[in-house]
Chain A
Amino acid sequence: MSGVKEIREAIITTLPSETSIFGQPPKPGQTYVPRAHIKALQPEAYLVVGARGVGKSFWAAALNTAELREILGSSVSWLEKTEVRLGFAGEPNIDFYPNMDEFSSLQEKGYTPYEIWRAVVVRWATNALGKWEDVPTDKWPATTDWIRANPESFSKCMERLSAMFRENGRQGLLVFDALDRTSHKWESMDAIVKDLLRVVLWLKGFPAIHAKVFLREDQYGRTVTNFPDASKLLATRAELTWQPHDLHGLLWQLLCNAPGNHGELLREVYAKICGKEPRQNAEVWSLTDEAKKEGPIQKKLFEALAGQWMGRDRRRGVPYVWSVSHLADCRGQTSPRSFLAAVRTAAENSLEKYPEHEYALHYESIKRGVQEASKIRIDEMAEDYPWVEALCKPLAGLNVPCEFTEICDRWENIPFPQDNQDSLPPPHAKLGAKGYVEDLKNLGVVETMRDGRINMPDLYRVGFGLGRKGGVKPVRRD
């Protein structure tokens, strides 16, 4: 059918082939804001929790970049009147905040993280006010000493800062991201994060001054919120999760903003289902609300690409749901990167293997795409949690579900991830094998069944080279 081949080519060209548009500054057409994420951007959300790949660093970058904030502008109008400053981030900026070595050095000298973070705050304040008394801003120990010695002056400084913002009808926002780069030891990182949250709580006391801390789930899961009044932060926390309809919305956002002829073709497909073309604003096309929600329109959109059923037997599911659910981890969460990768691979596979098929994406291609996405998801995971790969690679060849002891046997001869590597080890490493399983569970990589056996979803199983148990052995059929 004419059009189908072109649709496939359009999808292949448009969707990212290598792992990441994430991490690089996002282009306007690729900026998709799920409703749940808008909540994360509101001033009252001091704590934002999310796994990698769901845009944590993206959002921190977006908050700090004027052009991007302009795009988000209508959703988050308050941002226009906000001065944003990074209190910590992946990129080094030694004047604004200490790096890992500096943190370590300061802690060795006896400074607590609480004091260090307040030093970060005071540097911002003096910068914004132009000057405040004689706060030293050249070396961190000096700034931190000043904090220790001048609590009252510091308070006054913050009050002045707050007043200044208010007079100008503006507000200030300190953003903290990539906190896993503050230390490679859990004990010190816990202290660093916990004290940061206490500082943030203290900042709440100043009107017109806000803070936003982005945490990974594993950081959040520890005892960092174990201090008085932490509930005030927890109550308004936001979680950056992608619901299935958000993933589909993202997909169509990217497709509708494809360059040149590809974009025209895909917008035509969109228009046929939605009744009209997407809204255009400068160079950017945006979807109707209907196309961003779970509902018949979104379903029909994916049907236009992949058909109604995952095979001749209608009991085996609908592509709209199947493509997302089979990319889910044990917590039922699917990452945008895996989903887009799966769709792209499906288009490639259909182009090659099913040229005559009436839909752009053949269901067998979707299955193939989901399998390929496993490798991508594993890479994604490895960027933030290298220990996951270290623990799971030795499991290759096992069949799941399997006994806990089978896994322990595989781990017998490998060096357990230690503290002195280049990144944080598993949070519960001290508990040994049980601890590792616990940590893998928390990341959704494995689950424990009621009978005690360990199970791994296909999302990880395929890439890590494990099989899945079945009673019917392959050679039997002769």
Chain B
Amino acid sequence: MTTFDDILPEIGKVLAQENLAKLRPIIINRDLNGRIRLILKESTWKAMNKTAQTKLVKEVSACLGKHKYAPDRLLLSDSDFEAVKQDLMLFETELEPVKQGAPHFLLKDFLPEHFKNLKNLKEVTVVDRLVTETDWSTIAPLTNGPHRMVFFSIKGGVGRSTALAAATWSLAQAGKRVLVLDLDLESPGLSSALLPKDRRPLFGVTDWLVEDLVDNGDAVFGDMFAASELSNESDILVVPAHGLDPKEYLVKLGRAWMPKIDDKGAHEAWSARLRRLLDKLEAKHHPDVILIDSRAGIDEAASACVTELGAKTIFLFAIDGDQTWTGYDILFQHWRRTGKADSIRDRLQMVGAMIPDDEHAKDYFDGLCEEAYKVFCCLYDDIPAKDASGIEFNFEKNDLDAPHYPWPVRWNRGFAALQSLHSRFQDIDDDAFRAVFGELTKRIHIIVDSESES
């Protein structure tokens, strides 16, 4: 019984045959429902003889199982040929436009290295039609403005938001003007760390995203931030997920992720809207640095935060556990397959969350580091035994400066619960703070300071 993951390797076998060389380029189109079609150039198809055409239709059909249009229509005789062919194939004069706007990758990058006749699969592209606008492989270029830092984790509850709050406070204490954005719309809470109840603004990100759909963003834009008084040295501006009274939060949330279609029919993806919001906030508030709390887990909201906001630093929080590593592996393999590894990898930084502070600390950390190294290897350049260029992006397991080497945030009971954070942060014990967040904040300062100098 053919399932989704079986299909590409099977089609690969068929398309790798020598006699199909002239047929390329070929697109393997996977639609919203997971049904597959080939898209071919009219001219190359017509250049094939009938026998070869029939053979191809038969073989491809056989690969797809139920994942095709009209799966019950069989190729029993010649008269069925046209119909089956139409279920299976579409013809265009040019294939490039077909790829636009949809995530795609080369089949040969997806299949394992030892796949037979892999070289024959040049110019075979897989195109995915997805409901979600984002797909983790659109990597927006870095912005020219203030440094944007995203805090991401696979699992919730690892102390990501707490660490972000700590970093915010630390940067403000050093005189930086910090803008904080809570994009964990489904699980908001960052603002409680930084704003007491009497300082919550009227509106939040969700409200703007909803109003923006009807071009009414300006109605809320001025009232969706508040100043935290946590630091006397500089300003902390907080933009929460929702305002003081969330009101009909669930239904607003349902619309927040919508793309915008204007009256001329132009289409703006949700992530682009978010980027627009960020640019507006930057223009209004002129922060030195922007910290963004992302949604946990592998979904479109998190994807937009990590890859589409032009963030220069993306903190990947990790605790040592299967769920974490499976999650990051899925993500990294996707980036590797879609050819995005080198655009994203030098923005990533692993952070070790809740590192125990006892005799198990070293052992735990070593295990964490090794797992992080293993999962990051997927994004590193292979260094060949001979003729290495010397500029490969690859790091040794114990390299302190590697993106996989976890920056530790130590577990501390006092900082564990986010609610109490605001009062806790008020009377911050410098030593306790440093013990938990010292290494993270020190290195954040190094990153941020380097820019003010250049």
Within 8 A of B (CB), among A432-478: 449-451, 455, 457-458, 465-474, 476
A328-343 contact mask (Cβ, 8 Å, vs B): 1 or 0:
0000000000000000
Total number of B residues with any Cβ neighbor in A under 8 Å: 41
Within 8 A of B (CB), among A390-431: 396-399, 401
Decide yes or no whether A368 CB sits under 8 A from chain B.
Answer: yes
Asked whether, in the complex, the Cβ of B400 is within 8 Å of the Cβ of A325, the reply is yes
B290-309 contact mask (Cβ, 8 Å, vs A): 1 or 0:
00000000000000000000
Shortest Cβ distance from residue B312 to the other chain A in the assembled complex, whole angstroms: 10
Residues in B with CB closer than 8 Å to A473 are: 113, 382
Asked whether, in the complex, the Cβ of A476 is within 8 Å of the Cβ of B109, the reply is yes
Known contacts A367-B390, A368-B390; is A472 also within 8 Å of B381 by CB? yes
Decide yes or no whether B385 CB sits under 8 A from chain A.
Answer: yes
Asked whether, in the complex, the Cβ of A399 is within 8 Å of the Cβ of B370, the reply is no
B334-352 contact mask (Cβ, 8 Å, vs A): 1 or 0:
0010010110001001000
Decide yes or no whether B324 CB sits under 8 A from chain A.
Answer: no
Decide yes or no whether A315 CB sits under 8 A from chain B.
Answer: yes
Contact of A470 among B392, B399, B400, B446 (CB under 8 A): B392
Residues in B with CB closer than 8 Å to A367 are: 390
Contact of B385 among A309, A322, A396 (CB under 8 A): A396
Asked whether, in the complex, the Cβ of A397 is within 8 Å of the Cβ of B385, the reply is yes
Cα A469 to Cα B375 with chains together (Å): 12
Residues in B with CB closer than 8 Å to A310 are: 401
Shortest Cβ distance from residue B436 to the other chain A in the assembled complex, whole angstroms: 21
Total number of A residues with any Cβ neighbor in B under 8 Å: 36
Decide yes or no whether A314 CB sits under 8 A from chain B.
Answer: yes
Contact of A468 among B370, B378, B394 (CB under 8 A): B394
Shortest Cβ distance from residue B365 to the other chain A in the assembled complex, whole angstroms: 12
Residues in A with CB closer than 8 Å to B90 are: none
Decide yes or no whether A57 CB sits under 8 A from chain B.
Answer: no
Residue of B nearest to A447 (CB): B397
Shortest Cβ distance from residue A374 to the other chain B in the assembled complex, whole angstroms: 12
Asked whether, in the complex, the Cβ of B383 is within 8 Å of the Cβ of A467, the reply is yes
Asked whether, in the complex, the Cβ of A314 is within 8 Å of the Cβ of B446, the reply is yes
Residues in A with CB closer than 8 Å to B333 are: 471
Cα A469 to Cα B396 with chains together (Å): 10
Cα A396 to Cα B385 with chains together (Å): 7
Residue of A nearest to B391 (CB): A364
Decide yes or no whether B244 CB sits under 8 A from chain A.
Answer: no
Residues in A with CB closer than 8 Å to B380 are: 469-472
Decide yes or no whether B367 CB sits under 8 A from chain A.
Answer: yes
Decide yes or no whether B386 CB sits under 8 A from chain A.
Answer: yes
Residue of A nearest to B392 (CB): A470
Cα A120 to Cα B388 with chains together (Å): 54
Decide yes or no whether B377 CB sits under 8 A from chain A.
Answer: yes
Decide yes or no whether A205 CB sits under 8 A from chain B.
Answer: no
Contact of A472 among B336, B384, B397 (CB under 8 A): B336
Provide a sorted-by-A list of 8 A–B residue pairs whose CB atoms are within 8 angstroms. Answer: A322-B401, A368-B390, A450-B367, A451-B370, A451-B374, A465-B386, A474-B381, A474-B382
Which 9 interchain pairs have the tightest Cβ spacing? Answer: A470-B380, A471-B378, A317-B401, A467-B385, A470-B382, A468-B383, A314-B450, A470-B381, A397-B385
Known: A326-B399, A471-B378, A472-B342. 18 other contacts (CB 8 A): A317-B401, A368-B390, A396-B385, A397-B385, A397-B386, A398-B385, A401-B397, A450-B366, A457-B396, A467-B385, A468-B383, A468-B394, A469-B383, A470-B377, A470-B381, A471-B336, A471-B379, A472-B341
